[in-house]
C-alpha cells in the first residue's frame, strides 16, 4: 500500500474535480471539502494486567445537511485523524449518491484488535462509547461497523449509550445482530451492492458477466460476499487475497468453499483449490475483466496504475485508488466505478435497519434485498445520465456531481443560520 496519498487530500481533490463542472463559488467548495467538526479523544483503558493503556480515537462529523451523520467505526493501527475525516466525507457523498437521508460521519480507534483480549476490547469500546454519548443518537449521529468492528462492538456501543441515557434507542447504531434489532441482509449488503454495480456496469458495456474473470483484493466482509454473489451470476473468481497473501486459479474458485476456508483458518492462503500463490501486487496486475479492490485505501497508486490490466474496476473498499492512479486509469479508458456507489449497500441497509428500529417493525430479507437493488440500480442510472449530460471523462466525477448537487440543493433550501 502506498504512503503517497493522504486520504483527506484525495477526498478534497475528488470534490474539487467534480465542482469544476458546476457553477459553485470558492466558499461553497470549501464548505463541501471540510468537516463540520472532529472529536479527538484519548481513551485510557485498564488492561487485564492492571496497567493503563492510551488509545487515540476520533469521530468526524463531516456534513449534516441532508440528515444525521452516519458512518462506521474502524479499529486499525493505521487510523489517523485525516483518514477518519476522509472516510466521513466519503459517507456524505455516498449517502447523497444513493439518495438516502443522511449526512456523513466516521470514527476510528488506533489499535490492532488482534493484540487485545475480548474483555479489553469491550472496555476500549465502552470507553469510546462514553466519549461519543453526547454527540450520537438516532437523530444526531449513527455509528456502524467498519474494518475490524462488527455486531459485537455495535451491541456494546448501544448498551453503553442506552444505559447512560436511561432509554431504549436501538437505532443509535446499525449493523447490530438480528436478535438485538439488526436487519436481515445487512451482513451481505456491501458485497451485494458491489455485485449490483458490477452487473450494471457489464450490462452498460454490453458485456456478459457470466464467464467474466474477476480478481478480489481483500477477501473480508465486502470482498468475499461480492465474490460469492458474482460467482452466483456465473463470473469466474480467479484470484483472491487478504493481508496474508493471495491465491490464483485460472478456472475459478468455488467461492463458498473459499469463504468457509477463510472463516476457519482466517486466511485465503493454503486453500486446496488454489493452483498458485501470488502477492497482493501481482493480483492487482492480473489481466482480468473485473478487478475489485476490497481492502483499504491507496491500494493502487501512481506506480502501480500503468501495470493494471483489468478493463473494469469496481471499488468495494473506500478510496482504494490514489487520485494520481485514478487520473492515469481514466486516461487509459479503464472504467472505474467508484466506492460511493459500489459499496453503498452497507449504508443503505443500515438505513433500512434504522427505519425498522424506529418503526419497531421488521422486514423480510427479500424485501431488504429488493429495496437495495432498486436504490443501487436507480443510482447507477443517475450516474450514467450525469456522465453523458456533463460529458465528463470518468464515472467517479459523474457520481460526485450527482451527490454535490443534492447536498448543495439541501443547503440552499435550508438557508443560512448565522
> Mind telling me the catalytic residues?
106
User: What's the closest the beta carbon of residue 27 comes to ligand NAD, in angstroms?
Assistant: 30
Cα within 13 Å of Cα(128), Cβ side: 27
Q: Does 217 bind ligand NAD (CB under 6 A)?
A: yes
146 is an interface residue for ligand NAD by CB under 6 A: yes
Could you say whether residue 221 binds ligand NAD (CB under 6 A)? yes
Among 8, 58, 116, 219, binds ligand NAD (CB under 6 A): 219
Pairing of strands 236-242, 245-248: antiparallel
Tell me which of 226, 296, 310, 383 binds ligand NAD, using CB under 6 A. 296
Q: Please tell me the distance from the alpha carbon of residue 183 to that of residue 357, in angstroms, as a whole number.
A: 9
Going by C-alpha positions, the residue among 368, 400, 376 that lies closest to residue 174 is 368
Site for ligand NAD in 34-93 (CB under 6 A): none
Q: According to the binding rule CB under 6 A, does residue 151 interact with ligand NAD?
A: no
Instruction: Dig out the grid coordinates for 13 from the structure.
Output: 481533490
Q: Cα dist. 245→218, 259, 318 in Å?
A: 9, 15, 20
| Interface map 170-199 toward ligand NAD (x if CB under 6 A) | --------------------x---------
Scan residues 245-284 and list those touching ligand NAD (CB under 6 A).
280
Closest approach, Cβ 350 to ligand NAD, in A, equals 8
Asked if 328 is part of the footprint of ligand NAD (rule: CB under 6 A), the reply reads: no
Stretch that binds ligand NAD, among 14-22, 78-86, 196-204, 294-302 (CB under 6 A): 294-302
From the list 60, 343, 357, 394, which residue makes contact with ligand NAD (rule: CB under 6 A)?
Answer: 343
Could you tell me which of 154, 151, 159 has the C-alpha nearest to residue 143?
154
Query: How far from 364 is each of 151, 174, 182, 185, 378, CA to CA, in Å?
Result: 19, 17, 12, 9, 21
DSSP string, 241-291: EETTEEEE-TT---HHHHHHHHHHHSSSTT-TT-SEEE-HHHHHT---SEE
* 346 binding ligand NAD? (CB under 6 A): yes
Q: Which residue is nearest to ligand NAD (CB)?
A: 220
> Which of 68, 220, 323, 338 contacts ligand NAD by CB under 6 A?
220
CB neighbours (10 Å) of residue 157?
A: 27
- Site for ligand NAD contains 294 (CB under 6 A): yes
Q: What gap in Å lies between CA 413 and CA 74, rounded to an integer?
A: 33
In the bound complex, what is the minimum distance in angstroms from residue 182's beta carbon to ligand NAD?
12
Only one of the segments 198-206, 215-223, 359-367, 399-407 lies at the binding site for ligand NAD (rule: CB under 6 A); that segment is 215-223
Beta strand 37-46 with 245-248 is: unpaired
Cα separation, 26 vs 206, whole angstroms: 40
Within a 13 Å sphere around the CA of 24, how many CA atoms are in the beta-carbon half? 24
312 binds ligand NAD, rule: CB under 6 A: no
The answer to whether residue 317 forms part of the interface with ligand NAD (CB under 6 A) is: yes
Least separation in angstroms between residue 316's CB and ligand NAD is: 5
Q: Is residue 330 a contact residue for ligand NAD (CB under 6 A)?
A: no
| Contact between 147 and ligand NAD per CB under 6 A | yes
Cα four-point dihedral sign 190, 196, 199, 201: negative
From 60-68, 113-121, 217-225, 399-407, span contacting ligand NAD (CB under 6 A): 217-225
Within 8 A by CB and 6+ apart from 321, the residues are 293, 298, 299, 300, 305, 313, 315, 329, 336
Number of residues interacting with ligand NAD: please give it, by CB under 6 A. 24
Q: Which is nearer to ligand NAD, 75 or 128 (CB)?
A: 75
Q: Contact between 243 and ligand NAD (CB under 6 A)?
A: yes
Closest contact distance (angstroms) between CB of 222 and ligand NAD is: 4
Q: Toward ligand NAD, which CB reaches closer, 104 or 218?
A: 218
What are the distances in angstroms from CA 141 to CA 33, 306, 349? 19, 40, 16
User: Please, what is the minimum distance in Å from the beta carbon of residue 374 to ligand NAD?
Assistant: 19
Provide the minimum distance between the beta carbon of 211 and ligand NAD in the complex, in angstroms, as a whole number: 25
**What is the Cα gyration radius of the chain?**
20
CA 44 centroid distance within chain: 29
Enumerate binding residues for ligand NAD (CB under 6 A).
1, 146-148, 190, 217-223, 241-243, 280, 294-296, 316-318, 343, 346
Amino acid at each position: 500500500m502506498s504512503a503517497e496519498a493522504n486520504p483527506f487530500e484525495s477526498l478534497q481533490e475528488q470534490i474539487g474535480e467534480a465542482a469544476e463542472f458546476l457553477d459553485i463559488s470558492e466558499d461553497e467548495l470549501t464548505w463541501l471539502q471540510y468537516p463540520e467538526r472532529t472529536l479527538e479523544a484519548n481513551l485510557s483503558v485498564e488492561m487485564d494486567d492492571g496497567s493503563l493503556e492510551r488509545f487515540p480515537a476520533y469521530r468526524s462529523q463531516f456534513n449534516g445537511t441532508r440528515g444525521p451523520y452516519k458512518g462506521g467505526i474502524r479499529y486499525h493501527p493505521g487510523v489517523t485523524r485525516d483518514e477518519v475525516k476522509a472516510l466521513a466525507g466519503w459517507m456524505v457523498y455516498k449517502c447523497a449518491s444513493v439518495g438516502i437521508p443522511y449526512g456523513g460521519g466516521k470514527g476510528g480507534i488506533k489499535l490492532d484488535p488482534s493484540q487485545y483480549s475480548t474483555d479489553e476490547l469491550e472496555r476500549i469500546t465502552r470507553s469510546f462509547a462514553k466519549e461519543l454519548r453526547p454527540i450520537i443518537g438516532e437523530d444526531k449521529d449513527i455509528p456502524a461497523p467498519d474494518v475490524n468492528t462488527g455486531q459485537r462492538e455495535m451491541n456494546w456501543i448501544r448498551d453503553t449509550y442506552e444505559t447512560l441515557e436511561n432509554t431504549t434507542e436501538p437505532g443509535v447504531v446499525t449493523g447490530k445482530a438480528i436478535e438485538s434489532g439488526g436487519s436481515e441482509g445487512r451482513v451481505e449488503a456491501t458485497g451485494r451492492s458491489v455485485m449490483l454495480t458490477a452487473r450494471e456496469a457489464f450490462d452498460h458495456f454490453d458485456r456478459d458477466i457470466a464467464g467474466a474473470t474477476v480478481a478480489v483484493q481483500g477477501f473480508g466482509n465486502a470482498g468475499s460476499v461480492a465474490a460469492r454473489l458474482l460467482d452466483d451470476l456465473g463470473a469466474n473468481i480467479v484470484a483472491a487475497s487478504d493481508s496474508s497473501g493471495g491465491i490464483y486459479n485460472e478456472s475459478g474458485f468455488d467461492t463458498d468453499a473459499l469463504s468457509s476456508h477463510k472463516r476457519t483458518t482466517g486466511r485465503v492462503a493454503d486453500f486446496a483449490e488454489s493452483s498458485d500463490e501470488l502477492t497482493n501486487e501481482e493480483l492487482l496486475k492480473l489481466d482480468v475483466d473485473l478487478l475489485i479492490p476490497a481492502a483499504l485505501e491507496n491500494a493502487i497508486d501512481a506506480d502501480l496504475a500503468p501495470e493494471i490490466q483489468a478493463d473494469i474496476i469496481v471499488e468495494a473498499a473506500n478510496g482504494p485508488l490514489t487520485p494520481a492512479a485514478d487520473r492515469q486509469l481514466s486516461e487509459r479508458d479503464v472504467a472505474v466505478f467508484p466506492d460511493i456507489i459500489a459499496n453503498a449497500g452497507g449504508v443503505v441497509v443500515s438505513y433500512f435497519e434504522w427505519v425498522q428500529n424506529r418503526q419497531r417493525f421488521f422486514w423480510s430479507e427479500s424485501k431488504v434485498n429488493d429495496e437495495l437493488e432498486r436504490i443501487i440500480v436507480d443510482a447507477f442510472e443517475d450516474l450514467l445520465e450525469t456522465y453523458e449530460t456533463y460529458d465528463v471523462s470518468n464515472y467517479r466525477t459523474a457520481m460526485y456531481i450527482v451527490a454535490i448537487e443534492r447536498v448543495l440543493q439541501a443547503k440552499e433550501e435550508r438557508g443560512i443560520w448565522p
